[in-house]
Structure 1
Amino acid sequence: MYRLVYMSTPKRPLSREDLDAMLAAATRNNNRNGITGILIQDHKRFLQYLEGNEDRVEETFARISLDKRHHAIFRLKSGVIVRRQFPGWSMASKTVDQSGSLTNVVRELVKACDRDVAEELLNFAAARDRAT
């Protein structure tokens, strides 16, 4: 099993409709490709965790990297994992409101994850919270 975590910045604010359409497409593609994961959006950044077959995950990331809706795409972590962390979610999504804490949202989403994965995602979220 392979995972890839990245952050990116939307080029413009996304409406609820924009985000819903993006998530619907991601869900369809991920179901077809055997990819699971989460997408968290705080109106300033996306934090996404993808897991599945390495080639499929890397192809998905390459496609995302070419998407004109966002830029400043940074791979935070990639590599082999022991098991799926989000097996039931072809693409779980959570939007953090303007005054919310990304860390609190991530803490809820990673409750069933392996400790090292949960800590990594929480550390990314905490760093983002400190930067805002």
Structure 2
Amino acid sequence: MYRLVYMSTPKRCLRSEELSSILAAATRNNHRNEITGILIQDRKRFLQYLEGSENKVEETFARIASDSRHHAIFRLKSGLIDRRQFPGWSMASKTIEQCASLKNAVSELVKCCDHDVVAELLNFAEARDRAA
């Protein structure tokens, strides 16, 4: 199993219906490609965790990276993992307010994950909270 975690910034503030459309497309594509994961966004940044076969995850990331709605796309972590962390979610999503804590949002979604994955995602979220 392979995973990839990235953060990106939308080029402009996306409306709720645009975000819903992005999520619906991601859910369809991920289901077809047997990718699971989470997407957390606060209209200023996206934090996404993708898992599945390396080829499919990397293809998905390449599509995301070439999407004109994003810029400042940073791969935070990628590599092999022992098991799926989000087996039931083609794409779990959580929208938070810009002033809300990303760490709190992430902690709600990672309760069943392996300890090291929880620590990584919470560390990324905490760093974003400090920078925001």
Q: How many residue pairs are counted as aligned between the two chains?
A: 132
- Cα distance, 1:99 vs structure 2: 2.1
Q: Aligned runs of 1:1-132 on 2, under 5 Å?
A: 1-132=1-132
Q: Deviations over 1:75-130 (max 9, x none)?
A: 00000000000000000000111221000000110100000000000000000000
- Cα distance, 1:10 vs structure 2: 0.3
CA contact (8 A) 2:102 2:126 kept: yes
Task: Give the SS at the match of 1:98.
Answer: coil
TM-score, normalization by structure 1:
0.99
Q: Which amino acid aligns with 1:77?
A: K
Q: Which amino acid aligns with 1:107?
A: S
How far apart are the structure 2 equivalents of 1:50 and 1:30? Answer: 9
CA contact (8 A) 2:37 2:86 kept: yes
Aligned-pair identity (%):
77
How far apart are the structure 2 equivalents of 1:40 and 1:17? Answer: 16
Q: Which amino acid aligns with 1:72?
A: A
TM-score, normalization by structure 2:
0.99
